[in-house]
Amino acid sequence: MNIATTGIIMSKTIIVTGGAGFIGSNIVKRLNELGENRILIVDNLGNTDKWRNLAGLDFEDYVQKDVFLERLSGGAFGGKISAIFHMGARTSTTESDMEYLMKNNYEYTKILALWAVKEGVRFIYASSAATYGDGSTGFSDDHSLLTRLRPLNAYGYSKHLFDLWALKKGLLDKIVGLKYFNVFGPNEWHKGEMRSMVLKAYEQIKKDGEVRLFKAYHKDYGDGGQLRDFIYVRDAVEMTLYFLEHPEINGIFNIGTGKPRTWNDLANAVFTAIGKRPSIEYIDMSESIRGKYQYFTKADISKLRLSGYENETTILEEAVREYINTITCKGV
């Protein structure tokens, strides 16, 4: 990738909201590797240790997310921005405060999108695979199917609602929405219960010598045989930056491998990376989530491929091994 030839004036600043978060900080890291450091980080660090994800990154400035919105509305950034990667959001699938999600995930994104389109700024935002609900309507990112989707949780609905709004306002031919599937990799340790199963499995093995996976409550799946589209964050970032490189491509796109694997595969890959024999305990799933549980996800990435994206994704075992090596080197 050569961001100098994208047609975007790189002498201007790139904004990364959620820039101290998981995917956001990895985007900044990759931009740095490509020679770009005119970056404004927007986030809400609060009293967390998310700041550690910024250590070693090269960027112009940091602005708290509400202050940023005030400055944006006040005209502080007119003519100074080349692109916005809007990765900031409340991403917990168990969040129940819908008013908060509407303000933070929906309304905030609307303001940024409208400003970006008005200013002619490249706008790439994070949607989510959670918008697909139980998968009964498939996992196609075809815009004509958006109205058929039924998310299973409030987080997924807040993301879906913006996708629908952008569709109705005719913005999907001017902006890019990315539906990230199960992303894992460095800089996710701060996410609490929302960290990937790779990291959770590593922690469980180190503590107890075994991994705990949910039992299956579906006749078509064995325990641990539920399927997910796991994608390494490095691959997800490459797909994301593809749309910076190609400003002529717009719309909603899935970000995944298109090759679902079981939770058992994932757990076994972690054991192999650590050098231990697999030991898996299958535990009961709470009644509260059984009706909202996805047994299968698979990103349909045919539209991404048709747009010209050719890079292959890292196979699960290789990605897990690299990630575990990263964790081990940091002494986590």
Catalogue the active-site residues.
155, 191
| CA–CA distance, 196 with 322 (Å, rounded to integer) | 15
Neighbours of 131 (CB within 10 A): 26
| CA–CA distance, 15 with 31 (Å, rounded to integer) | 11
The b/e string for 158-195 (b: 16+ C-beta within 10 A; e otherwise) is bbbbbbeebbeeebbebbbbbbbbbbbbbbbbbeeeeb
Beta bridge partners of 180: 255
Do the beta carbons of residue 162 and residue 106 sit within 8 Å? Answer: yes
Do the beta carbons of residue 125 and residue 111 sit within 8 Å? Answer: no
Q: In this structure, what token pair is assigned to residue 46?
A: 């609060």
Residue tagged 């949910």 (tokens): 214
